[in-house]
């Protein structure tokens, strides 16, 4: 997991940086940025962390659906008729 942290003792400066940084991260199609989490900071400064991941290719999910089989059908259509096989050798006398 990759985390970005904005940490400063000057809360106003940190808020100004976040106002610029967050829209840039959200507009970037190569990255997926999670929601920022504000952490407590001794002395009243600012500590914000957010998870960042590569967007990657979209995931496609395909479910296989087979038609119901009924007796005597093959894939929803009648089975082809079987041809009688000829014997390789004539019957023995």
With beta carbons less than 8 A apart as the criterion, state whether 6 and 14 touch: yes
CA angle, residues 32, 33, 34, in degrees to nearest 5: 120
Domain positions in the chain are 2-54
Digit-coded pLDDT (tens) for 35-91: 999 998 778 889 999 999 988 866 667 777 777 766 555 555 666 677 777 666 766
Digit-coded pLDDT (tens) for 9-41: 999 999 999 999 999 999 998 889 999 999 987
Per-residue DSSP letters for 15-41? HHHHHHHHHHHHH-TTEEE---EEE--
With beta carbons less than 8 A apart as the criterion, state whether 49 and 5 touch: yes
């Amino acid at each position: 997991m990759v985390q970005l942290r904005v940490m400063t003792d000057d809360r106003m400066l940190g808020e100004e940086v976040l106002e610029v940084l967050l829209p840039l991260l959200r507009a970037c199609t190569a990255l997926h940025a999670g929601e920022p989490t504000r952490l407590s900071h001794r002395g009243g400064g600012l500590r914000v962390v957010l998870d960042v991941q590569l967007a990657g290719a979209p995931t496609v999910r395909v479910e296989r659906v087979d038609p119901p089989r009924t007796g005597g059908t093959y894939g929803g259509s009648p089975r082809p008729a079987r041809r009688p096989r000829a014997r390789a050798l004539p019957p023995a006398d």
